Amino acid sequence: MNIAIVGLGLIGGSAAKALSGFKDAHVFGIDTNKKTLEKAEADEVIEEGFTSADNILDKMDLTIICVYPEALKDFLNKYKNDFKEGSIVIDMAGVKEYVMKAAKSSGVTKRVNFIGGHPMAGREVGGYDNSLDTLFEGSGFLLVPDEDASDESVETVMQILKHMGFSSIKKTTAEEHDETIAFTSQILHVIAVALSKNDYYYADKAFKGGSFRDYTRIALINESLWSETLMENRKYLLKRIDEFEDEMRIIKQALLDNDKPSLCNILRNDRLLKED
């Protein structure tokens, strides 16, 4: 089985490393950065690296595209006729309506089994040098198969994901993915960034405990990638922000009213629900 990884950054590099030992897989890397390819070859993470996808993709049974959503769209449009007929193509981008529409309109979904993907794992640092063979251990993975992808191709991808270390693999739709991820991931980072703008963010470290350190880490995002994915998902993200602001208003009102029983009730409900 020939596998190409397009983009050997944090996710692509970790995917290549985590593929080690998967059946009879031969892993190849495609990246514009020659140095990265040389490193991955020296690490024996890939068998061979290519600075362009030209004349490569028709030999691949599986292509894993690990680039930003807009670059992914361009890649699909450029190479739509190059993929091996009936092969599997998956992506690793954090938005799925955008990606699935881009795949559909490129026509690639008629030629290959196109399966959208989103690994729920990351680090505060990016690039191949920070990639880890254990990055996906115990993490979730969201799968969004195109309507024309075969059940067999989805099954193959699931086996590969399990080998990579993912422990919760869920098939979902592009819509459910995007509206849910706007909450379970995107708004959390947006809030942490908004907080980091406050002058008190730079208070003496004696004022800061574990919660502060958690928020700080969550605020550390790659601005190029995240400004793309947040913007591509702004329809749902704005809804989640509105819902959050409504809940903040309720707490704020309890504070304004000096209404301790209400405030206590808000805090208590939360705890009880989570212990279910």
Q: Find the shortest distance in angstroms from Cβ 206 to a copy of itself.
A: 4
Identity of the residue numbered 174: A
Instruction: Closer to a copy of itself by CB, 53 or 157: give it.
Output: 157
Q: State which amino acid sits at residue 142.
A: L
| Residue 21 makes contact with a copy of itself by CB under 8 A | no
Answer for which of 120, 135, 145, 165 binds a copy of itself (CB under 8 A) is: 120
Q: Give CA–CA dist 201/221, Å, rounded.
A: 17
Beta strand 62-65 pairing with 2-6: parallel
Q: Are 108 and 80 in contact (CB under 8 A)?
A: yes
- Token digits of residue 145: 């198969």
Residues 251-270 touching a copy of itself, rule: CB under 8 A, are 251-252, 255-256, 258, 260, 263-270
For residue 241, state whether it binds a copy of itself (rule: CB under 8 A): yes
Interface mask toward a copy of itself for 143-182; x: CB under 8 A: -------------------------xxx------x-xxxx
Nearest to 19 by CA among 167, 160, 166, 169: 160
Q: Which stretch binds a copy of itself (CB under 8 A): 30-38, 57-65, 126-134, 226-234?
A: 226-234
CA 55 to chain centre: 28
* Binder of a copy of itself out of 44, 134, 137, 231 (CB under 8 A): 231
Backbone angles phi, psi at 117, to 5 degrees: -145, 160
Q: How far is the CB of 1 from a copy of itself (least distance, A)?
A: 25
Question: What φ, ψ does residue 4 adopt, rounded to 5°?
Answer: -110, 135
Residue 17 vs 177, nearer CB to a copy of itself: 177
Q: 112 vs 218, which CB is nearer to a copy of itself?
A: 218
